[in-house]
Amino acid sequence: MTRPLLTREEGLRRLGGFVPFAGRDYAERRNYVPGTVSSLSPYVRHRLLTEEEIAGAVLQRHSYEAAEKFLQEVCWRTYWKGWLEMRPGIWLHYLEDLHALRERMDAETDFLGRVRAAESGETGIECLDDWVKELCETGYLHNHVRMWFASIWIHTLRLPWQLGADFFLRHLLDGDAASNTLSWRWVCGLQTPGKVYVASAENIERYTEGRYAPFGLLATETPPIPTDHSIPKPQLLPARETHVPGQKTVLLVTEEDLSPESWCVPTADVSGVILIDTADATAGTSRNVTTFKREALESTKERLVASGYSSVTLLSASMGTMETMGTHWENLSRLLQAHYVDGTSTVSMMGAPVGPTQQFMDPLLSLLKQEGVAVRRLRRDWDDALWPHATHGFFRFKEQIPIVLRRFA
């Protein structure tokens, strides 16, 4: 995968080029490397393209039955997000575990060396070492490769899954908290208790068409992965908030949803747009990823200005100390006050899903509410329709996919 230009226009171009292959070609070749893939994941990740419009474009060309495999793949990301939204404690447990493992790395030289060898592509397992280099250089790995990678990391190298998930999240251009964290949990048997994914040399040889054949190098046994956390029951999703037509509002835009044109907020009601750069929200994020996200924000700013939105500002931010957070608050407050002169009384943003952006934004939004500002956290129709079905495993969820898609046809 070549490094993509992260603009909505480029995403639409790629979507148009892929649609003819979304049926039988995708179903038959999706597991091969490189195989038939859409290369749309970075655009969906930041919602420069939405799942709804991708599904709509595919269904204009194919029947649901013909494109079922691809449409299910699109919905996997939605499923993971909905699942985590109803169990946010899983993300917090992951962060706690990660903190403890970093302390262990500081204390245990041997453990640190094993982790660094894996992250540097120096394990002696050719396929894994090559995939590490590919990930670091391009910010991308084929989905099947990601599964093999995670399996080897966990079951062969016997390294904690949390460190592997962190490595992916810091390097993947399309990485998001839900898909990444829960996929790693699935490979090690925590997401679906009793179901562990184990990569085999035969499978790797077949789907890389002989490029790699790591016979005798991979684990075949999978000892239980210890955990102190059970899977909680799903909690109710927060009530959906919507824009009140005719009321002036400032839009807060983050990397989680870069298509505010489709937020159901008329342009005439928007007194200003503030894009917030949280590219550094995850510590140790690769330069590839931070550069990529900032290009996406810049391209979105340019597109919104060209589309007639007034007062579009890009506000740089980063994770840091409380003093740093205070500076972010002062900058945001100053920008909002400039719009209050025009009668603005609300702030609207697409609710950030569980993950680093949400963690960054929540304190700022709480401060706004303390100042008496009405903050509306919007939610897309797509998420509102599908997230409530993410209560159990994907197989129960996927039964709802064709039913829900008929609503968006």
Same-domain status, 359 and 390: no
Same-domain status, 348 and 280: yes
Same-domain status, 100 and 190: yes
Examine the pLDDT at 323 and tell me if it is beyond 60.
no
The residues, any chain, with a CB within 8 Å of residue 201's CB and separated by 6 or more, are 213, 214, 215, 216, 217, 218
Alpha carbon distances (Å) from 314 to 97, 232, 275, 289, 351: 34, 38, 5, 18, 18
Cβ atoms of 349 and 252 closer than 8 Å:
yes
Cβ atoms of 123 and 218 closer than 8 Å:
no
CA-closest candidate to residue 250, choices 336, 358, 316: 336
Confidence of residue 337 (pLDDT cuts 50, 70, 90): low
d(CA 360, CA 353): 11
List pLDDT tens digits, range 105-142. Answer: 999 999 999 999 999 999 999 999 999 999 999 999 99
Q: If DSSP codes are grouped into helix, strand and coil, which group holds residue 177?
A: helix
Which residue type does 173 have?
A: L
Which of 149, 173, 207 is a domain's end point? 207
d(CA 363, CA 109): 37
Examine the pLDDT at 3 and tell me if it is beyond 70.
no
Which of 10-24, 36-50, 78-92, 368-382 is the least confident region? 368-382
Examine the pLDDT at 334 and tell me if it is beyond 50.
yes
List pLDDT tens digits, range 21-59. Answer: 999 999 999 999 999 999 999 999 999 999 999 999 999
Same-domain status, 312 and 203: no
Question: Into how many domains does the chain fold?
Answer: 3
Same-domain status, 115 and 170: yes
| 322 compared with 222, residue with greater pLDDT | 222
d(CA 211, CA 234): 42
Alpha carbon distances (Å) from 146 to 246, 255, 400: 47, 23, 27
Same-domain status, 105 and 180: yes
Same-domain status, 284 and 362: yes
Say how many Å lie between the first and final Cα of the chain, rounded. Answer: 30
Residue 309 belongs to some domain of the structure: yes
- Position 328 scores a pLDDT of 59
Task: Tell me the whole-structure pTM to 2 decimals.
Answer: 0.93
d(CA 373, CA 351): 16
Examine the pLDDT at 396 and tell me if it is beyond 50.
yes
- Position 320 scores a pLDDT of 46
List pLDDT tens digits, range 263-280. Answer: 999 999 998 999 999 887
Q: What is the 3-state secondary structure (H, E, C) of 16-36?
A: HHHHHHCCHHHHHHCCCCCCC
Token pair of 92, please? 């917090």
* CATH number for the domain harbouring residue 253: 3.40.50.620
Owning domain of residue 267: 249-378
Q: What rounded mean pLDDT belongs to the chain?
A: 91
* CATH number for the domain harbouring residue 15: 1.25.40
d(CA 103, CA 97): 10
